[in-house]
Amino acid sequence: MILENKLLEKLGEWQPEPGRHDLHVASDGWSATLTADRSDVLGCLLWELNLRRDGTEAVDVHQWATAAAQRVSGLTEPLKVVEIDTARNQAQLRSNVPSQRGEKRSYYELLLSGIGHAVLRRFQTANGTSSRDQVAFAITHETLARLAADLARAA
C-alpha cells in the first residue's frame, strides 16, 4: 500500500485521548511519525511530522530540497530553500512569506537530512524579537497524507 493511502487509513482510525500522542505508519520504504495534540475524523492539530527513509542509501539533499520546495503543497504558505549545508548534508526550508496575525508571525520549517530524514514543524515569533516557539497547526488528514507522500516522492 502506498504511503499516502496507508496514512489516510491510519489517520481515519486514530482518535487518541486528549494530549500529545504519536502515530507511526510505515509503507513504501518510508516510516512516518506524526505527533499531534488532537486528532478527529477530519484532521489533527499537528505538532510535528517526522519522515524517515528505510535503509542506508544516501539522498542528494540539494536535489531533495529543490524538489520539495516545488512539489510540497497543502501548507498555508509555500516553502523555499533557505540553506543547504553540504558539509553536514542537510537543508533547511521555510515558508516563503510567513503568516502575519497582529504582532505575531508564523512559518513552517522543514529540515532535510541526506540520510533520508525530514522533519516539519511550525514556529511563531513576535515582531521585533529573535526568539521563536514551536506551535501546533491544524491540517486535514488528506492534506497531511499528501504532504508526506510529496516529501517522499521529492527524495
Domain spans of the chain? 3-137+148-154
Q: Minimal CA–CA distance to 51: which of 4, 120, 122?
A: 120
Is the CB of residue 95 less than 8 Å from the CB of residue 107? Answer: yes
- Rounded distance between C-alpha atoms, residue 140 and residue 138, angstroms: 7
- The single residue listed with the C-alpha cell 507511526 is 24
Q: Minimal CA–CA distance to 31: which of 10, 60, 61, 12?
A: 10
Helix (H) or strand (E) holding 24, with range, is strand 21-27
The 10s digit of each residue's pLDDT in 138-150 is 999 999 999 999 9
Longest Cα–Cα distance of the chain, Å, equals 47
* pLDDT recorded at residue 130: 81
The 10s digit of each residue's pLDDT in 103-152 is 899 999 999 999 999 999 999 998 777 899 999 999 999 999 999 999 99
Give the three cell numbers for residue 115.
540520510
The 10s digit of each residue's pLDDT in 11-65 is 999 988 889 999 999 998 999 999 999 999 999 999 999 999 998 778 899 999 9
The 10s digit of each residue's pLDDT in 36-50 is 999 999 999 999 999
